[in-house]
Chains A and B, each alone.
Chain A
Amino acid sequence: MSDSPVITQGALEAAHHEHPPYQRHHFETIGQQNDATNFAMWLFLLTEIMFFGGLFTAYLIYRNWYYPAFVAASHQLNIVWGSANTAVLISSSFTMAMGVWCAETRRKSGLVLALVLTFLLGLVFLGIKTIEYSEKIEKHHVPGFHYSIQSFVNPASDPVAAAYGDKPLALDMAGKTELYFFLYFAMTGMHALHMIIGIAILGYMIFRARAGAYTSGHVTFVENFGLYWHFVDIVWIFLFPLLYLISRHQ
């Protein structure tokens, strides 16, 4: 539009029908614009499904290949922290959904409160994740040069493995626990990166919401961010049982 002659713009201005100021001119109706942005957001989320899907598939295959290693390694995750984080993330999805409702019904202070709560719950999630990661660092369970198979070749030396009554793994199988932790850090790390990006956008949205940007009828941004946030929640809904829960007994 930048290089269109002024006269054309003036003609358009005169010709086009009534519509809200946030409706772009290439859309017939505001409904069409909403559908188009919603569709585009979902297309983006589908690429995200495929991206995380690749990681989940790798986990599925390697868990079956190196089953004893994956069982022993997953015992190292703390089920209490994992459950707490699941509750935190579900709560943040709820506050985000309430934020969308506040934007739709033009409740400015409600929207700001919902966004702030979502922001804080996101930070709590990352805080708990930090505690979990630092446990892994202390025990040399981070893949790389300093990785230690101590907990798996000699479970008696490790309080967590001992509590589960883990049997010592043969040296080659114990080495495969590194693959579990590689996938653990890749999956939870990519998830955490999505959380960090989401929290950054939330920070921006809180300022815009305070200025009344989303409570004037134009809710697309809040709505589409809500879709993103709920998607990140869904990824965790699958990560939690697969990483923390399904190998409790073996």
Chain B
Amino acid sequence: MSEPTKHDEHHIVSPKVYLVIFLALLVLTTLTVAASFAELGIFNPIVALAIAVVKAVLVVLFFMHVKYSTRLTKLTVGAGVFTFLVLISLTLSDYVSRAWGRW
């Protein structure tokens, strides 16, 4: 990151990309609803969350242009998600290690 970011030409995402992502999101929505009707036991929430994560990543990368953004933006998004995961893990580790199953 020695150079100031090269960015003067602004990347325009084409409508074709938006349309493909839009259709993918609709398909994934159908998929997650269908999966909720299947009896998967412990995997029901796991599958639902996995599909949600894929959808969120598609939105962030394409609708929110992060795939085409500067390294600063990519780093910011990554740092935010990482911090969020750290906070959740710390909170959960506290709950799990104190009285899990004894409430």
Contact = CB atoms under 8 A, between A and B. Distances in A.
Interface of A: 29-32, 34-35, 38-39, 42-43, 45-46, 49-50, 53, 56-57, 60-61, 65, 79, 83, 86-87, 90-91, 93-94, 96-98, 101, 104-105, 223, 226-227, 230-231, 233-234, 237-238, 240-242, 244-246, 248-249
A104 to B, nearest CB: 5
A29 B103 CA distance: 59
Contacts of B45: 241-242, 246
A104 B13 CA distance: 9
Contact of A101 (B13, B79, B88): B13
A66 to B, nearest CB: 9
Interface string B7-21: 110101111001101
Given A53-B84, A246-B45, A249-B44, A35 B63 contact: no
Contact of A31 (B8, B22, B79, B95): B8
Contacts of B79: 46
A210 B72 CA distance: 33
Contacts of B62: 97
Contacts of B59: 93, 230, 233-234, 237
Nearest to B95: A61
Contact of B92 (A34, A42, A61, A240): A61
Contacts of A38: 69-70, 73
6 contacts: A42-B80, A46-B79, A93-B59, A234-B55, A237-B59, A242-B48
Contacts of B83: 46, 50
B22 A83 contact: no
Contact of A246 (B39, B48, B69, B81): B48
B58 to A, nearest CB: 10
Given A38-B73, A90-B25, A97-B18, 10 more contacts: A35-B73, A39-B72, A39-B76, A61-B92, A93-B25, A226-B64, A238-B56, A246-B36, A246-B44, A249-B41
A45 B77 CA distance: 9
